[in-house]
Amino acid sequence: MKQALFLFFICTNLWAQSALEFKDDKISPSLLRSTYAHLNTEDFNLKLSGSLESSLLFFRSFVNTYYTEMSQQKKSSLKGTCFGDAHPENFGFILFGDKTRFVFNDLDDSGQCSLEFDLLRYFVAASLAFNDQQLSDLLLNHLLEVFENEGKRVAIDPGLIPSLSKKNKKILEKYTTQTTFKALPELLSLSPQEKQTLGREVMKDPLFERVTILDAVKAKRETGGSGGLDRYWLLIKDANTALDILELKELVSPGLSYLQPQPVQTPGQRIQMLKQDLWGETPRFYHPIKIQNTDYLVRSRTKDDVNLEKLTKRELQQYLKAQVSLLALHHGKNKNIEVIKMGQWLKRSIPLLHQRFETTYQYLLKQKK
């Protein structure tokens, strides 16, 4: 037992004292391509081209690549369920029953991992988003404070909590005529046969027993972590005649599977486990469904987030602290975290990875021109 504890201590110290190491100063285009081999050439090129809008979007778009590179680094023995793609725009408001909650809202890439890489992804994203060292330090210090004392957590400002019923109305007005989808550039029409096939497959799911599908379209999405994957939108009416738009988003291996092997689970088992671990409950629609041998995640479009550009400096700091609090409260369940060492490792690693993605982004941008 003493020997095992000694080895755990040595491994933890080796990780905590290490620095990220790479052979080159930028990510090779071949690695970007190989980590998205499931996309055909056209879809990959669209994803890459679209991601070059900013270094942040580039970082967000290549989750698999990030975790592939992290798989080559020294790891801690701090394991657990990870958010996977934590960044400032992946937190928002979802309806659970009749209650609106502020949560990490995108479980596509969630799974099991070494906790430090989950935390690092959020802080590098924040660093690229705001390029503000003072803000980065503030957020990192807040993480460590909440690790040590949960009472230091920051809750979401009640004034930022939206009315999701109003949000639902706005979404319906923007995209539909109440009975069909509008003809919009971001929505691709389906043939009657495609709609019939999609509807028939969807209606096999028990949650759709009391739901009427009014219309269906294909939604375009070329950028972000799931850029290039198929998405369908359904306009539905439930038994109470309430309208909603459901998104069917193609499921592939989570980004964390590029870091380490994930538990052998069906998509349904995986999503259910993640909802329980990260939310503790489930919305009405947030579950996998199979359509012609392809797995999709069904989720309501009635959700909301905060427009970061409209916040004052103080409001932004408090909002980001609320995000960091969610990260800290979740990962703080692991009582083996050595807070000071975690802080030191993150402090060293954030600027290194920020620079690596910024350099790669600038290189690709020049190649594009």
Residue 340, token pair as written in the block: 């000071």
Number of domains composing the chain:
2
Q: Exposed, middle or buried: residue 147 (CB in 10 Å: 0-12, 13-18, 19+)?
A: buried
Locate all alpha helices (DSSP H) within the chain, ordered by sequence.
2-17, 29-34, 41-51, 55-61, 63-70, 115-130, 133-148, 164-175, 192-202, 267-278, 313-331, 339-368
Pairing of strands 294-300, 91-96: unpaired
The radius of gyration of the chain from alpha carbons, rounded to an integer in Å, stands at 21
Given the structure tokens 């009749």, which residue do they identify? 98
pLDDT of residue 8: 42
Range of the domain at 290: 164-300
Q: 258 and 130 in one domain? A: no
pLDDT digits (tens, 9 = 90+) for 77-129: 999 999 999 999 999 999 998 899 999 999 999 999 999 999 999 999 999 99
Q: Are residues 119 and 198 in the same domain?
A: no
End-to-end CA distance of the chain: 60
The per-residue pLDDT for range 356-369, each reduced to its tens digit, is 999 999 999 998 87
Q: pLDDT tens digit string along 226-243? A: 556 789 999 999 877 789
- 26 phi, psi to nearest 5 deg: -140, 165
Identify the segments of the chain with pLDDT beneath 50. 1-11, 225
Boundary (domain end) residue, out of 279, 300, 321? 300
CA-closest candidate to residue 256, choices 119, 108, 128: 108
C-alpha of 225 from chain center: 8
User: Does 86 share its domain with 198?
Assistant: no
Both tokens assigned to 57 = 């979007």
Of the three residues 273, 300, 327, the one that is the final residue of a domain is 300
